[in-house]
Amino acid sequence: MDDFSMLPMAADDDRLHEECGVFGVFGHDDAAALTALGLHALQHRGQEAAGIAAHDGRRFSIERHAGLVGDTFTRKAVIDRLPGRRAIGHNRYSTTGGAGMRNVQPMFAEFAGGGFAVAHNGNLTNAMILKRELQRRGSLFQSTSDTETIIHLIATSNHGQLLDRFVDAIRRIEGAYSLVALSEKKMLGCRDPLGVRPLVLGKLDEAWVLASETCALDIIGANYVRDIKPGEVVIITDEGIESLFPFEKSRSRFCIFEYVYFARPDSSVDGRGVYAVRKQIGAELARESGIPADVIVPVPDSGVPAAIGYAEASGIPFDLGIIRNHYVGRTFIEPTDAIRHMGVKLKHNANMGVLKGKRVVLVDDSIVRGTTSMKIVQMVREAGAAEVHMRIASPPTTDSCFYGVDTPEKSKLIASHMTIPEMASYIKADSLAFISIDGLYRAVGEAKRNGDAPQFCDACFTGDYPTRLADYEDRGKVQTLPRLAEAS
Amino acid sequence: MDDFSMLPMAADDDRLHEECGVFGVFGHDDAAALTALGLHALQHRGQEAAGIAAHDGRRFSIERHAGLVGDTFTRKAVIDRLPGRRAIGHNRYSTTGGAGMRNVQPMFAEFAGGGFAVAHNGNLTNAMILKRELQRRGSLFQSTSDTETIIHLIATSNHGQLLDRFVDAIRRIEGAYSLVALSEKKMLGCRDPLGVRPLVLGKLDEAWVLASETCALDIIGANYVRDIKPGEVVIITDEGIESLFPFEKSRSRFCIFEYVYFARPDSSVDGRGVYAVRKQIGAELARESGIPADVIVPVPDSGVPAAIGYAEASGIPFDLGIIRNHYVGRTFIEPTDAIRHMGVKLKHNANMGVLKGKRVVLVDDSIVRGTTSMKIVQMVREAGAAEVHMRIASPPTTDSCFYGVDTPEKSKLIASHMTIPEMASYIKADSLAFISIDGLYRAVGEAKRNGDAPQFCDACFTGDYPTRLADYEDRGKVQTLPRLAEAS
Amino acid sequence: MDDFSMLPMAADDDRLHEECGVFGVFGHDDAAALTALGLHALQHRGQEAAGIAAHDGRRFSIERHAGLVGDTFTRKAVIDRLPGRRAIGHNRYSTTGGAGMRNVQPMFAEFAGGGFAVAHNGNLTNAMILKRELQRRGSLFQSTSDTETIIHLIATSNHGQLLDRFVDAIRRIEGAYSLVALSEKKMLGCRDPLGVRPLVLGKLDEAWVLASETCALDIIGANYVRDIKPGEVVIITDEGIESLFPFEKSRSRFCIFEYVYFARPDSSVDGRGVYAVRKQIGAELARESGIPADVIVPVPDSGVPAAIGYAEASGIPFDLGIIRNHYVGRTFIEPTDAIRHMGVKLKHNANMGVLKGKRVVLVDDSIVRGTTSMKIVQMVREAGAAEVHMRIASPPTTDSCFYGVDTPEKSKLIASHMTIPEMASYIKADSLAFISIDGLYRAVGEAKRNGDAPQFCDACFTGDYPTRLADYEDRGKVQTLPRLAEAS
Amino acid sequence: MDDFSMLPMAADDDRLHEECGVFGVFGHDDAAALTALGLHALQHRGQEAAGIAAHDGRRFSIERHAGLVGDTFTRKAVIDRLPGRRAIGHNRYSTTGGAGMRNVQPMFAEFAGGGFAVAHNGNLTNAMILKRELQRRGSLFQSTSDTETIIHLIATSNHGQLLDRFVDAIRRIEGAYSLVALSEKKMLGCRDPLGVRPLVLGKLDEAWVLASETCALDIIGANYVRDIKPGEVVIITDEGIESLFPFEKSRSRFCIFEYVYFARPDSSVDGRGVYAVRKQIGAELARESGIPADVIVPVPDSGVPAAIGYAEASGIPFDLGIIRNHYVGRTFIEPTDAIRHMGVKLKHNANMGVLKGKRVVLVDDSIVRGTTSMKIVQMVREAGAAEVHMRIASPPTTDSCFYGVDTPEKSKLIASHMTIPEMASYIKADSLAFISIDGLYRAVGEAKRNGDAPQFCDACFTGDYPTRLADYEDRGKVQTLPRLAEAS
């Protein structure tokens, strides 16, 4: 729709962003309302736009709106336009560029055999190659989204049955994806062969639930059943649930950054509680790079669990030396110059009583460009801190993500071109330390990183990408790629 | 404007709400932009609507909008419509009822002698009596706000000069008020004789700043000068700053609940840091009603500082056993029934790993109706807690506030009709304790409450109102009053 | 409301504009819906904004919206917000300047004795003098409208009863006004002592109706009872209808331009059908300034009846030589330069088949600035007309109106500084003639204009103003006055 | 876009509606602004939505908005988003159903070889058959519009060059269509082999113009060159203009109803002025079914030219006995019941002075359901007419149109199941007559209808459809078809 003009969100552009959350319910009278709740619990995975597709046994209905789930999807009128006992939903981080609402999901297509709606979390690494091929044979694209590529692959598959067509399509795509889809009779859930992005299965009374994270099961009171396996396709019908494994067996490479930052602390992945992992990272940090100090201060909110873990392990008191203003939600859309120069203070303020005269250890989850860290160190120092030591709950972020996380290109990542001492100097900290890669693996319960067959995708810390990057290779070196605007 | 329909905010109706924040700048090129920032820092004092009035030496301009400050007041176009080196602003908690935007502040009037804009935090207790009197002599009211009463008192004063008219007006009003006003030549700041609501003076280069709290000085980098004194009128002009004390001397009765909950933790009042007071309350609580436990868990976010203080004093670990979803900002405006029944989970989720099998001490700031506490106790228990003990960082809230805080009527306050053991049983906690009134006074640095001349307004805990309640007395007993819809 | 930004309408600025229509119903279940219909029938009297105030026996409700009546006031939700058996309404031509919706009517005030809503058609000529006086004694003005002056006069009257206060107020105002007002118990209708603006009384079953024109009675099937008399106040209550005549008897001076252009052709005033008068004007024109021609072509739509009359009287065929595009309603709000230069063609196109090679008599209602006439003559000539003769259904417009019609200042009126031959040359017509002032009086049924005591207000043709122009006199010469932005 | 909710227009549902207008400019600096003007002149062909696609030599831009052209397309900001010297545009009558803005044109597709935008006036009669076939081979449809079918036919054509693909596509479609399209290098114009819908070629300086009617050339001052021929494809490039005739030669069957009602009176088709034809229809009517009377009254506005022709031919005076309220544009969207029952008076009012005591001949263009005619006859009679005779400027409308006109299904057409006397009795006229089919042909300049090879498409009067109706035949009898919601 051309009337639509998407306002750029006031997202913190010095943090990495998960780009989507997905959710689905099959077999509940309040399917759409439950989906709205699930998406609300997954709001941290995408704040730009949300969509729900529902099916009432005869037809599909779909609503997609810019903004937070709570802004529209909790109005009775909107939910009433989504009748039926089956629904899937999607949160989107970004709808960049002119494409506007056309890229918002779930996407819907009318196949010869019936309707099909799909919601996608991840990013394909051969979508552009496939798109050019499909266009050459007459497929018309309405959006710039990977998801539409998947739909066209299904539409043009030579197979007869929808499920066969779907499998045919996912066998041709590469990259990271967790999909939730709705056809006339089925709900499908699917993870890529490496299981890079999360997807869990839950049950609420007789209804099956699929969700990016367990916190979305909690909000509706659904029970956690299990994580969908890497490379698994689950098929949910009125008759029950079945699984397909259409890929060759491969080792799981779950995104380790989900533990560090993306996932909500009250979620758990494969049985590991995210909050506990983060506290453990803090404890590892204290052990690896402890330093004498008076107070452990988190950069709120993401640094809080690691800071608590650090404080416990070190015996140094934990205190809120930085106060975060939570009203920044959609704020400061077109800041004036005057406001731009105030910088980080819009969001954070020093709590002087805690900091004055103290040796402070600041704990944050990661450093991307370094600009935020620099401002925070300065703010803490201006509040009277005697020393400011920065401890980071992840290894240095040296490489871009091509699997559905919005990262700056490699050259913008401070760790790609500075040593740790250079970074310490740049952010003007008295000391700076990152957790080691093995320390991080220990915090998630492994003995160490298995260099031959890493247990997780950690490409952003190691440059070790677990798949081909076909779309990028033919354009030259990966590290010079522009930011991936259209990942979903 | 009739086109406007104000949506009820998703405010947590089981908490008390400060009803306004005020701010002013005199003598800075970016007066309106700085005011927007100041209001943003004061957003916790009112989220429904915001307004800014500016004066460029020749004329006034004014912008008032529903929603958060950041939604509109950071757009260049809006700030550009507010030229001049002088500006005042206002955040409003609630614009209840049909009055809509007419009640949004700053209010502006064109007197015979020139324009006058005023922003008000507080509530008058004789506004209705004055209004009826003014109407009888021909004044026409456009709003239902106390602030308009003040304006009419100025307009109809027999004095000649604006300042004399202003003093004439404030001598006739009763109740709690912190005012910031702008005339053709002056910025005025004023606190009621008891100083119930806060107001501080700051300086940014050559510009004078008035703000409800010090955190609004911090955001723009202004220096804190001092708190405006109870009963003081400061007059700021191009020539400098002067003070008037038009009232008989009386003892200060600052609202003690500002320390407990309303003020931002990084603010300080009369030199006392709010965060430190809250931690101290937690420590007092641990001393007064400590209990063996495995973990101290705050009800986020307001319970966090007291919980840290409790944990430190008791030596029991502090942990985030409840995770708050911060995306509830303006969300769930018209929840469906299905959603309404999910209740508190929209905002809070149990962090099971922290709670399972543990003896849990929950720390919250206050109990109003008790419904939220009940749900939180239940949620924590369902997550597997072995015991759930509730500790409250304020004494039982037994009486309504008539000084600018949105409280339910007395009969809705659970503490007005239940004993503490009854409340413990109602919320299904294994134990429940509130800080004592003297404990609270100790936490703010007093030896104890002076029963003959209390150092603070604590009427919500004691029923000891420091002023006449003229508007309410003639309608019968105070405790049966309806909620004060139009306080500001 | 500051959110509101009023877009300037694409009103034809080379025509005079009636500035308001008023309507009221007392005693009908569908009072608000009927009022919406009445206002729709009166839409030609004002297209910028409309408002309705209703009273349900206990309280007032009011809705005011920018745009056409049909855009909002026919939505069930809007009408449902206007309950009660009594309603008044208002159409507004213009809400110029920053005042925005604050000037939109009906205006409402809460007096000590109850609510009062009033809608006004006309313009006061001593409103500014009265306003200054009221401000000096403490009245605060919210708008720039005359109507508010009337309300403050009522509020500050020394009389006790509302009706006495109302009479007190209208005795102090000067100028032209037809008012419809609603109090807790009564509907009032009132015309100024000269009856410059129209107001009629109708009946629909048991309900009384007041309206600017009879066409607004027709649309709801109400019967025409009579015109309200100059200087009459009608008081309608549940008990029936009464009249007051609070002024000294004076001769009627009804606005003769209502017959020429403002009123709808299907209305009648004082028993004279407007359409018949216009045809008669055309016939008089043919007699006074007939010329040999092949076709009589109206400038649509306002020139049509006079052109038919001219054609009948002259025996020359009538034909639609100019086609009007009726979709220009609210269009071309911010035309590009390219569009601005296309000028009049947005609205009118030559119908070449009718014009080519013909001697054409164009009939229009009036000439204001002359720019439109010039473009139309050119367009007709370019379509191949052999001769173009312009005949105007009113005398030359030489003077501004101060009685509620939006006229340019005198110096912009082409007839104020050009002779008829000069005007003919300016608009490039082969001949130009206006009806004579006596011809116009004959067309409305008088023998001739009575120079000593003119039967109508014809100040725009004669400069003979029937009242003092107090607001303007003290600023200097009437003819140099700026356009009356705030008439209503 | 799901945010969009299309309000049903207050279209007069007792009239037939042309469903689209198209326009294009190639080679002018103000291409988009000129297209906006052209669409404004063609507004009578579609009022629901409008769109413009422009090309600046490198890329396409497109804007589509609900509402009148003048509501959005004359804002500088909108035109500025449409840069380039080439533009095409489209007015749409109806965007029924959930498809919302997705059906609004021009439609745009990105082919492997570049972008392509197309605007379509008409209706295909084999679109559904083609759509099913395309879907089976994997094409995904985003809309329910015929135009998308054409685009997919081009996309999947086996030919290499775009022009060959375009010709390949139009050879497969059946029905009525006038297309204007824009590719990277060319503007195309095309009429179906029978030339059912109009399309003319004009020139403005060096720029070529395509438009549905000549009135759209007039508004921008372009010269009429010629009508595009039935079955012709014109190809306009920077090098000039060429024509292709890819179909076998067939006789023209232009829609005769364009002369009766759809086209603007100031347009001409194939050199015949529409206004002159309508006057001639009135003259024929007077001859065929004249009756003694006092006044000839048109049902405005469409009946006016025929009424003038009737009056001239009969010597009976023409007068405006019915006044139309032109402010009904987008009004009365959700009328209350009270308003619905007032019916036709929203739009028309009797002009009593003209009708009272008179024998009245009413002239209207057509009768569809008969409900409007009945109300108008009643209104005229209530205004005092002695006799009411209805004369209709077209033959009885007995059959639905499948060529791009919004007609009710056959069973709703009063003439499909009543004789003329029955209709006269139903509408309560004293007499009723329609022009004969041969009379209509005479009015457009033919001697009579050639029964073997009719010169026009007159299927709505004769049931003689000039093409196959493939989509409808396989669903059973044509006359039971539901209304064609998605024609364009």
| C279 shares a domain with C156 | no
Predicted confidence (pLDDT) per residue in D414-465, tens digit: 999 999 999 999 999 999 999 999 999 999 999 999 999 999 999 999 999 9
Residue B41: its H or E element: helix B31-41
Q: What average pLDDT does range D64-90 have in this prediction?
A: 91
One-character DSSP codes across C317-330: PB---EEE-GGGTT
- The answer, yes or no, to whether B and A have at least 3 beta-carbon pairs within 8 Å is yes
**Three-state secondary structure along chain A?**
CCCCCCCCCCCCCCCCEECEEEEEEECCCCHHHHHHHHHHHCHHHCCCEEEEEEECCCCEEEEEEECCHHHHCCCHHHHHCCCCCEEEEEEECCCCHHHHHHHCCCEEEEECCEEEEEEEEEEECCHHHHHHHHHHCCCCCCCCCHHHHHHHHHHCCCCCCHHHHHHHHHHHCCEEEEEEEEECCCEEEEECCCCCCCCEEEEECCEEEEECCCHHHHCCCCEEEEECCCCCEEEEECCEEEEECCCCCCCCCEECHHHHHHCCCCCEECCEEHHHHHHHHHHHHHHHHCCCCCEEEECCCCCHHHHHHHHHHHCCCECCCEEECHHHCCCCCCCCHHHHHHHHHHCEEECHHHHCCCEEEEEECCCCCCHHHHHHHHHHHHCCCCEEEEEECCCCCCCCCCCCEECCCHHHCHHHCCCHHHHHHHHCCCEEEECCHHHHHHHCCCCCCCCCCCCEECHHHHCCCCCCCHHHHCCCCHHHCCCCCCCC
Q: List CB contacts (< 8 A) between A110 and chain D.
A: 135, 140-141
Q: Annotation-wise, does B215 bind a ligand?
A: no
The answer to whether residue B231 sits within a structural domain is yes
Domain boundary among A220, A253, A286: A253
DSSP letter (8 states) at residue B75: S
* Percent of chain D residues past pLDDT 90, beyond the cut: 77
Closest-CA distance of chain D to residue C336, Å:
6
What is the distance between the alpha carbons of residues A376 and B392, in angstroms, rounded to a whole number? 33
| pLDDT of amino acid B370 | 94
What is the distance between the alpha carbons of residues D191 and D234, in angstroms, rounded to a whole number? 9
The answer to whether residue B464 sits within a structural domain is no
Number of helices followed by number of strands (H, E) in chain C: 17, 25
Question: Model confidence at B97, in pLDDT bands (50, 70, 90)?
Answer: very low
| C307 shares a domain with C242 | no
Predicted confidence (pLDDT) per residue in A343-386, tens digit: 547 889 999 999 999 999 999 999 999 999 999 999 999 999 99
The answer to whether residue B196 sits within a structural domain is yes
- The answer, yes or no, to whether D and A have at least 3 beta-carbon pairs within 8 Å is yes
| C357 shares a domain with C321 | yes
- Asked whether the predicted pLDDT for residue A112 surpasses 50, the reply is yes
The answer to whether residue A264 sits within a structural domain is no
Q: List CB contacts (< 8 A) between D318 and chain C.
A: 308, 318
The answer to whether residue A458 sits within a structural domain is no
Q: Is D78 strand, coil or helix?
A: helix
Q: List CB contacts (< 8 A) between A139 and chain D.
A: 138-140, 155
Q: How far is CA C4 from CA B100, B145, B359, C98, C102, in A?
A: 14, 21, 56, 10, 10
- Asked whether the predicted pLDDT for residue A333 surpasses 70, the reply is no
Q: Parallel, antiparallel, or unpaired: how do β-strands A175-183 and A114-124 relate?
A: antiparallel
Q: Which residues contact B195 (CB under 8 A, 6 or more apart)?
A: B228, B229, B230, B231, B252, B253, B254
User: Can you tell me the ipTM of this complex?
Assistant: 0.91
What is the distance between the alpha carbons of residues C467 and C250, in angstroms, rounded to a whole number? 12
- Asked whether the predicted pLDDT for residue A326 surpasses 80, the reply is yes
Burial of C456 (0-12, 13-18, 19+ CB in 10 A): buried
Chain B positions touching chain C (beta carbons under 8 Å): 1-4, 51, 62-66, 100-101, 109-112, 132, 135-142, 151-152, 155-157
Question: Taking a C-beta distance cutoff of 8 angstroms, is the pair A355, A386 a contact?
Answer: no
Which of D323, D340, D341, D356 to mutate to test binding with chain C, by most C CBs within 10 Å of its CB?
D323
| C417 shares a domain with C321 | yes
- Give chain A's mean pLDDT: 89
| A286 shares a domain with A185 | no
Low-confidence ranges of chain C (pLDDT < 70): 1-13, 18, 94-102, 328-344, 474-488
Q: What average pLDDT does range B316-337 have in this prediction?
A: 75
| pLDDT of amino acid C339 | 61
Question: Taking a C-beta distance cutoff of 8 angstroms, is the pair C256, C440 a contact?
Answer: yes
- Asked whether the predicted pLDDT for residue A475 surpasses 90, the reply is no
| pLDDT of amino acid A366 | 96
Q: Is B462 strand, coil or helix?
A: helix
CATH number at residue D442: 3.40.50.2020
What is the distance between the alpha carbons of residues D464 and D482, in angstroms, rounded to a whole number? 19
What is the distance between the alpha carbons of residues D248 and D436, in angstroms, rounded to a whole number? 33
- Asked whether the predicted pLDDT for residue A485 surpasses 60, the reply is no
What is the distance between the alpha carbons of residues B24 and B36, in angstroms, rounded to a whole number? 10
Predicted confidence (pLDDT) per residue in D452-463, tens digit: 999 999 999 999
The answer to whether residue B459 sits within a structural domain is no
| pLDDT of amino acid C76 | 84
- Residue with the larger pLDDT of the pair B367 and A76: B367
Strands (DSSP E) found in B184-252: 187-191, 200-204, 207-211, 223-227, 233-237, 240-244
Q: List CB contacts (< 8 A) between B111 and chain C.
A: 135, 140
| pLDDT of amino acid A41 | 95
Nearest to B265 among A301, A323, A332 (CB): A323
Q: What average pLDDT does range B40-62 have in this prediction?
A: 94
Q: Annotation-wise, does D255 bind a ligand?
A: yes
Q: What average pLDDT does range B130-157 have in this prediction?
A: 93
Cβ separation D112–A101 shorter than 8 A: no
Question: Taking a C-beta distance cutoff of 8 angstroms, is the pair D127, D470 a contact?
Answer: no
The answer to whether residue A269 sits within a structural domain is no
Q: Parallel, antiparallel, or unpaired: how do β-strands D387-392 and D359-364 relate?
A: parallel
- Give chain B's mean pLDDT: 89
| A344 shares a domain with A238 | no
Q: List CB contacts (< 8 A) between B138 and chain C.
A: 138-139, 152, 155-157
Neighbours of chain B (3+ CB pairs under 8 A): A, C
Amino acid, single-letter form, for residue A195: G
One-character DSSP codes across C178-243: EEEEEESS-EEEEE-TT--S--EEEEETTEEEEESSTHHHHTTTPEEEEEPPTT-EEEEETTEEEE
The pair phi, psi for residue C87, each rounded to 5°, is: -155, 150
| D65 shares a domain with D30 | yes
Q: What average pLDDT does range B53-63 have in this prediction?
A: 96
Cβ separation B350–A266 shorter than 8 A: yes
Q: Which of A173-182, A473-482, C39-48, D348-357 has the lowest mean pLDDT?
A: A473-482
Which of B266, B301, B326, B382 to mutate to test binding with chain A, by most A CBs within 10 Å of its CB?
B266
- The answer, yes or no, to whether B and D have at least 3 beta-carbon pairs within 8 Å is no
Q: Which residues contact D53 (CB under 8 A, 6 or more apart)?
A: D60, D61, D62, D82, D87, D88, D89, D106, D108, D117, D119, D182
Q: How far is CA D352 from the centre of its chain?
A: 34
Q: Of D75, D29, D27, D25, which Cα lies nearest the Cα of D53?
A: D25
Nearest to C37 among D75, D334, D342 (CB): D342
- Residue with the larger pLDDT of the pair A20 and D96: A20
Tell me if residue B215 is catalytic. no
| B317 shares a domain with B229 | no
Predicted confidence (pLDDT) per residue in D155-212, tens digit: 999 999 999 999 999 999 999 999 999 999 999 999 999 999 999 999 999 999 999 9
**Which residues of C are designated catalytic?**
20
* Percent of chain A residues past pLDDT 90, beyond the cut: 78
| B240 shares a domain with B110 | yes
The residues with which C235 forms a beta bridge, in sequence order, are C188, C242
| B295 shares a domain with B224 | no
Question: Model confidence at B448, in pLDDT bands (50, 70, 90)?
Answer: very high
- Asked whether the predicted pLDDT for residue B218 surpasses 90, the reply is yes
| pLDDT of amino acid A101 | 63
| pLDDT of amino acid B337 | 65
DSSP letter (8 states) at residue C80: H
- Give me the domain span that covers residue A184: 17-253
Cβ separation B276–A317 shorter than 8 A: no
Cβ separation B336–A219 shorter than 8 A: no
| pLDDT of amino acid A11 | 41
Cβ separation A349–B304 shorter than 8 A: no
Predicted confidence (pLDDT) per residue in B146-174, tens digit: 999 999 999 999 999 999 999 999 999 99
- Asked whether the predicted pLDDT for residue B244 surpasses 50, the reply is yes
What is the distance between the alpha carbons of residues B413 and B416, in angstroms, rounded to a whole number? 5
Q: What average pLDDT does range B216-224 have in this prediction?
A: 95
* Percent of chain B residues past pLDDT 90, beyond the cut: 78
Q: Which residues contact A84 (CB under 8 A, 6 or more apart)?
A: A31, A32, A54, A55, A56, A57, A61
| pLDDT of amino acid D1 | 25
CATH number at residue A180: 3.60.20.10
Q: List CB contacts (< 8 A) between B62 and chain C.
A: 2
Predicted confidence (pLDDT) per residue in D210-245, tens digit: 999 999 999 999 999 999 999 999 999 999 999 999
Burial of A471 (0-12, 13-18, 19+ CB in 10 A): buried
Two tokens at B268?
């300080």
| pLDDT of amino acid B11 | 40
Q: Which residues contact A127 (CB under 8 A, 6 or more apart)?
A: A146, A149, A173, A175, A471
| B185 shares a domain with B38 | yes
Question: Model confidence at B480, in pLDDT bands (50, 70, 90)?
Answer: very low
The answer to whether residue A111 sits within a structural domain is yes
| pLDDT of amino acid B472 | 85
One-character DSSP codes across B248-301: ------EETHIIIIIS-TT-EETTEEHHHHHHHHHHHHHHHH----SEEEE-TT
The number of domains in chain D is 2
| A283 shares a domain with A234 | no
Predicted confidence (pLDDT) per residue in A212-224, tens digit: 999 999 999 999 9
